[in-house]
């Protein structure tokens, strides 16, 4: 505990700290410490993979330039940019959220720490933009440009912990800003304090989960360790 920055509810808004709850214990973690606590590098915005092959980099650039001409003055995109553009540029994530440990199988979920109004921005779905060669799409989200995905498995923000449900209270929007498409999560309906956030990732989400083998020995061992000495941030 001592090696982490002292962050309180009063100053968490200013330093963009992330609240994490586990076993009725809450911590405020600074983005710089997110990787140490959660095993995931914190990204406030979309990152293009450094290993993106030149062929695909040219394809991405081509389509983005095309879309810039199509959507720069598009009324729908202008309205979305007016509503959320500044927040996307600032790397905004709603401060009325917290990550909560659910169990060993489900891992973590995102919950509202205060009431969130319909159409209020949750945050940008960040991660590494890659070519769609990923076999296990448990985390990957399809990008606007076909053939590319946003992969937050190793790097992302709080939105990567939003779980799936076919009756979601969060929807995604696509905003074209500064020559790039950004995927953002927005409240689909009013969300009450303490309510979990859900997004409908589609049928493929459940296909991946149903076909992902479970290491029962690892699960049993982890449960035993949890009983003996619980560590709130031992990841899945």
Instruction: For residue 188, give both structure tokens.
Output: 């689909």
CATH number at residue 113: 2.170.270.10
The answer to whether residue 73 sits within a structural domain is yes
Residue 127 lies in a domain: yes
pTM exceeding 0.95: no
218-228 pLDDT, tens digit each: 444 444 444 33
Mapping DSSP to helix (H, G, I), strand (E, B) and coil, where does residue 188 land?
A: coil
Would you say residue 1 lies in a domain?
A: no
The reported pLDDT for the residue numbered 138 is 65
Note whether residue 233 is domain-resident. no
Domain membership of residue 183 as a residue range: 12-228
Q: Is residue 104 part of a domain?
A: yes
Domain assignment present for 37: yes
7 falls within a domain: no
Within-domain flag for 3? no
Q: Which residues in the chain belong to E strands, given as ranges?
A: 18-22, 25-29, 41-42, 47-48, 97-103, 107-112, 121-124, 128-131, 141-142, 148-151, 155-156, 163-164, 170-177, 180-187, 198-199
Contact 159, 123 (CB under 8 A): yes
Q: Would you state the pLDDT for residue 123?
A: 97
Report how many domains make up the chain.
1
Q: Which residue has the higher pLDDT, 137 or 176?
A: 176
């Amino acid at each position: 505990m001592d090696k982490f920055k002292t962050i309180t509810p009063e100053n968490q808004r200013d330093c963009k700290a992330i609240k994490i709850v586990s076993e009725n214990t809450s911590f405020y973690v600074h983005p710089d410490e997110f990787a140490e606590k959660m095993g995931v590098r914190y990204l406030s915005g979309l990152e293009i993979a450094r290993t993106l092959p030149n062929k695909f980099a040219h394809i991405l650039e081509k389509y983005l330039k095309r879309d810039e001409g199509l959507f720069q003055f598009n009324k729908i995109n202008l309205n979305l940019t007016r509503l959320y553009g500044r927040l996307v540029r600032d790397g905004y994530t709603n401060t009325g959220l917290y990550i909560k440990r659910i169990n060993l199988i489900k891992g973590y979920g995102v919950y509202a720490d205060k009431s969130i109004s319909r159409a209020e921005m949750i945050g940008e779905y960040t991660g590494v933009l890659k070519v769609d060669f990923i076999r296990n799409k448990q985390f990957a989200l399809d990008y606007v440009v076909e053939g590319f995905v946003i992969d937050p498995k190793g790097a992302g923000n709080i939105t990567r912990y939003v779980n799936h449900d076919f009756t979601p209270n969060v929807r995604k929007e696509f905003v074209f800003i500064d020559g790039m498409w950004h995927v953002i999560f927005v409240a689909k309906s009013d969300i009450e304090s303490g309510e979990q956030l859900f997004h409908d990732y589609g049928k493929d989400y459940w296909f991946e989960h149903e076909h992902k083998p479970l290491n029962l020995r690892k699960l049993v061992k982890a449960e035993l360790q949890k009983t003996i000495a619980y560590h709130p941030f031992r990841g899945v």
